Amino acid sequence: MMLASGARTDEQRLRAFGLLPAEYAHIVARLGREPNTVELGMLGAMWSEHCGYKHSRKLLKLLPTTGPRVLQGPGENAGAVDIGSGLAVVLKMESHNHPSAVEPFQGAATGVGGILRDIFTMGARPVALLDSLRFGDPTEARTEYLVGGVIGGIAHYGNCFGCPTVGGEISFDAGYTGNPIVNAMCVGVVPIERLTRAAASGPGNPLLLVGADTGRDGLQGAAFASNEDPEASHRGVVQVGNPFLEKLLLEACLAVLETGDVLAMQDLGAAGLTSAAVEMAARGGLGVEIDVARVPRRESGLGPFEVMLSESQERMLLLVRRGAEAAIEQHFARWELHAEVVGHVTADGQIRVRDGEEVVADLPIPLLTDEVFAYDLNAEPPLTAIGPPLARGADGASSFGAGGTSLRGDAREAALLKLLASPNLRSRKFAFRQYDSTVQGNTVMGPGHAAAVIRVEGTNKGLALTTDCNPRFLRADPRRGAAHAVAEAARNLACVGAEPIAVTDCLNFGNPEKPTVAWQLTEAIQGLAEACRALNAPIVSGNVSLYNETGGRAIPPTPTVGMVGLLEDVSLAVRAGFVSDTTIIILGMAPKELGASEYAGDGAFPRFDLDDERRLDQLLRSLAARGLLRSAQDVSDGGLAVALAECALVGGVGATLDVVDVSEVGLFSEDQGRAVVTCASDSVGAVLQISDQFGVATRIAGITGGDRLIVGDALSLSLAALRKAWEASA
């Protein structure tokens, strides 16, 4: 394909393959020839943003990725950290935004399928799923369609596979209209000695493709995920998943590892067989040869191009010891799965693709990996506010109150009820009731608490899990907003008593070739790095999803943070709901302003200090470890009034608070670094003393009990009224 100077149609064709003209020119110069169609497809997939990280790779080097527990950082299918007792936790988060915009059910379902494979390709058994979902204006019919499809797809795949979906988050913002965000996180557990990598070794060792047959679904998905228009780019290419087959694949793969004959495993996700073979070879500094004629096909008419780039689901590439092929094939046959030798490792550093005797592609591995361009971004801050306003008003203004004046009489009660019923704060029962959150029998605390908690089977340990990101804060300040996502995740873990041990992230942004988006991405990564260092939470895996734009309008910056925490004694996990006859204590400094709150709308970033967050987290963990807390909940979206209402609703117990600022700021500010905890009356002195040792401000605010939430002379609402508002659309 010769490119004429200024030939727009040629540039558009290259864009469809995920390439820019300068990149294509480099490829031609490197090869000394033009690539053929199969090679162009392979190069386009590996040079795409989705696989090559060409607009984010330099920035990602800023992130802290090491620590005393880290066994595997970024660069593998998932990260891994040591939790003691000879066990490792494996974690990863991925995006499936573009496919879900087109076909929400299968787009979300296969997103779950892909993240499950990322975990068990490391030799780990998946033990928990979480998700982070962003949708557009909730009043639009298309948003309702997307919400129903995405949640249905997540529930279908996770429930059928048998992995509990234990938590997550859902929010609405006009900036996601046309381009929803669907991020899926999975966590697994594995004995450290069974941790499996995906690096090629031993030239001559065979490669086996196991699992499902190959079809046309998902064809060129990696390149399409680097396209601004998900509607146009993904039409007809969304993958179709089969969770029951994937369950068989999981059990077969984990069992075959016990033989010692499997040297490496790599799932077939973005870019399909191309990326699986190339990445495995690159990690080992070797080459591979693939014969597409030996790949089982689901349909006739598939040529080498389709076979190498198909993203059909439920497939895995295994590198095995020479001589073990027959035994491996027999093993997978017992699980009613294909296992076909499709190639072998070579020593020449090339990926050579054959169709029988014919060589249809021959490319150097480094050209597909190390030589992918890494760009310096042209970053410029915006001249005006970032992105469109929130969904509730054309100007982003609050519809809850007057914005800074003191509410009188019933207005505060009405404001709280309206907040509880609002799209971003209402009960998520409408989603969670579709998820099986207790399958496997290890869920201690599922959806509805500050963080989910699961038991590590065979031990007394527990894992706390959460996902966090507040697009409203990111709109106000991408750097502090990203740091806040880390801090809120750590605070959620601290509320249940867990120490953060690892982070996985998914960086969802618009077109990085635009200066404002480049600035957002740069600022957010710097914020993530700063907060992770301050809170000792290394980032061990993640994903970058760029070009999230529709009609030239980018989504709000959305750097989603998934965090895993460790509880040495899971029996000490602290719940969010109130229990009767306890004392309520508010931890953290009194709020100063409404700022960018759910109540006030877009505005200034709330008070936020990483040192305050660190000390609060240490205090919460210390109190939990001593068994002093009966409940704990952080103050976040909606402010103190919403936090109190949620504690009352989750526990089914009311509360009476006397020493509380009942102004708008006191009730609805989202100033950070605060939590509401309860303890037995005879533990109050100990809680106050320990709080003072950590330098955290405290205020005894009231007691729990009854069936009403009473806050001074400002609020007196029955739990029934609160629940009616909170679950109105649940």
Judgement on whether residues 342 and 424 belong to the same structural domain of the protein: no
Check: CB of residue 61 under 8 Å from CB of residue 250: no
Q: Are residues 716 and 649 in the same domain?
A: yes
User: Are 339 and 234 part of one and the same domain?
Assistant: yes
| pTM recorded for the entire structure | 0.93
> Residues 338, 416: one domain?
no
For residue 502, being part of any structural domain is answered with no
Give pLDDT tens digits for 669-707.
999 999 999 999 999 999 999 999 999 999 999 999 999
Tokens found for residue 244: 């029951």
- Mean pLDDT across 91-106: 94
Which has more confidence, 250 or 449?
A: 250
- Name the average pLDDT for the chain: 92
Q: DSSP readout, 454-477? A: EE-TTSS-EEEEEEE--HHHHHH-
- The Cα–Cα gap between 333 and 638 comes to 54
Predicted confidence at residue 276, as pLDDT, reads 96
pLDDT at 13: 79
Question: What pLDDT score was predicted for residue 556?
Answer: 95
Q: How far apart are CA 494 and CA 108, in angstroms?
A: 30
Alpha-carbon span 491 to 485, nearest angstrom: 10
Tally of residues, the chain: 730
Domain with 32 in it: 8-47
pLDDT tens digits, one per residue of 617-658: 999 999 999 999 999 999 999 999 999 999 999 999 999 999
- 412-435 mean pLDDT: 95
Quick: pLDDT tens for 309-336. Answer: 999 999 999 999 999 999 999 999 999 9
Beta partners for residue 343, in sequence order: 207, 290
* Within a domain: 646: yes
The answer on 326 and 209 residing in a single domain is: yes
Strand 350-355 to 287-291 pairing: parallel
DSSP string, 262-283: EEEEEE--TTHHHHHHHHHHHH
Burial of 647 (0-12, 13-18, 19+ CB in 10 A): buried
Confidence category of residue 456, pLDDT binned at 50, 70, 90:
very high
Residues contacting 129, CB < 8 A, separation 6+: 112, 115, 116, 154, 158, 163, 164, 165, 166, 184, 185, 186, 187
In a domain, 122, yes or no: no
Residue 291, burial from CB neighbour count under 10 angstroms (0-12, 13-18, 19+): buried
pLDDT in tens, 558-599: 999 999 999 999 999 999 999 999 999 999 999 999 999 999
- Examine the domain organization and report whether 594 and 712 are in the same domain: yes
Answer whether residue 472 is part of any domain.
no
pLDDT digits (tens, 9 = 90+) for 6-62: 444 577 778 788 888 999 999 999 999 999 999 999 999 999 888 999 999 999 999
- Indicate if 657 and 579 belong to the same structural domain: yes
pLDDT of residue 227: 52
Read off the pLDDT band of 270 (50, 70, 90): confident
Which residue in 50, 55, 344, 484 is the catalytic one? 50
The whole-angstrom separation of Cα 582 and Cα 683 is: 10
pLDDT in tens, 710-728: 999 999 999 999 999 999 8
According to DSSP H, which parts of 191-262 are helical?
221-224, 230-234, 243-257
pLDDT computed for residue 155 by the predictor = 97
pLDDT reported for residue 289: 98
Q: Is residue 105 scored above 70 in pLDDT? A: yes
Q: From the candidates 55, 96, 98, 331, which is the catalytic residue?
A: 96
Kindly tell me if the per-residue pLDDT of 402 is higher than 50.
Answer: no
Angle, alpha carbons 150-155-156 (nearest 5°): 95
% of the chain surpassing 90 pLDDT: 85
Nearest to 576 by CA among 657, 495, 462: 495
Q: Quote the CA–CA distance of 42 and 657 in Å, as a whole number.
A: 64
pLDDT at position 554 over 80: yes
Q: Is the pLDDT of residue 235 over 50?
A: no
Residue 394 scores a pLDDT above 50: no
HSE-CB of 5 using CA atoms within 13 angstroms:
0
Q: What is the structure's pLDDT at 241?
A: 87
Q: Tell the residue number behind the tokens 């952080």, with chain if given.
A: 634
Please write down the HEC assignment for all residues of 398-448. Answer: CCCCCCCCCCCCCHHHHHHHHHHHCCCCCCCHHHHCCCCCCCCCCEEECCC
Integer angstrom CA distances of residue 719 from 19, 578, 651, 725: 57, 12, 10, 10
Collect all residues with Cβ–Cβ distance below 8 Å to 113 and sequence separation of at least 6. 157, 161, 241, 243, 246, 313, 314
Whether 604 and 700 map to the same domain: the answer is: yes
Cα–Cα distances in angstroms (integers) from residue 284 to residues 91, 196, 207, 257, 369, in the given order = 22, 14, 14, 19, 12
727 token code pair: 């679950």
Q: What is the pLDDT averaged over residues 100-122?
A: 95
Quote the CA–CA distance of 549 and 228 in Å, as a whole number.
5
Domain of 672: which CATH number?
A: 3.90.650.10
Q: pLDDT band at residue 409, thresholds of 50, 70 and 90? A: low
Same domain, 227 and 330: yes
Closest among 81, 280, 340 to 195, alpha carbons compared: 81
Residues 597 and 697 in one domain: yes
Q: By the 8 A CB rule, do 217 and 240 touch?
A: yes
The answer to whether the CB of 492 falls within 8 A of the CB of 481 is: no
Identify whether residues 210 and 321 lie together within a single domain: yes
Region 456-465 average pLDDT: 97
pLDDT confidence band for 398 (50 / 70 / 90): very low
Q: What is the DSSP letter of 377?
A: P
Q: Number of folded domains in the chain?
A: 3
Q: Which residues of 84-119 are buried (b: 16+ CB within 10 A; e: fewer)?
A: eeebbbbbbbbbbbbbbbbbbbbbbbbbbbbbbbbb
Q: Does 515 map to a domain? A: no
pLDDT tens readout for residues 497-548: 999 999 999 999 999 999 999 999 999 999 999 999 999 999 999 999 999 9
Same domain, 297 and 419: no
User: Is 287 a residue whose pLDDT tops 70?
Assistant: yes
> Strand, coil or helix: what is 392?
coil
Specify whether the CB–CB gap between 134 and 176 falls below 8 A. yes
pLDDT at 49: 87
Q: What pLDDT does 463 receive?
A: 98
Q: What is the Cα–Cα distance from 162 to 127, expressed in whole angstroms?
A: 9
* Residue 395 forms part of a structural domain: no
160-219 pLDDT per residue, tens: 999 999 999 999 999 999 899 999 999 999 999 999 999 999 999 999 999 999 998 766
Q: Is residue 729 part of a domain?
A: yes
Longest dimension (CA), the chain: 84
Average pLDDT over residues 76-99: 96
- The yes-or-no answer on residue 50 being catalytic is yes
Residue 242 is assigned to a structural domain of this protein: yes
User: Residue 393 has what pLDDT?
Assistant: 34
Give the whole-angstrom CA distance, residue 123 versus residue 94: 18
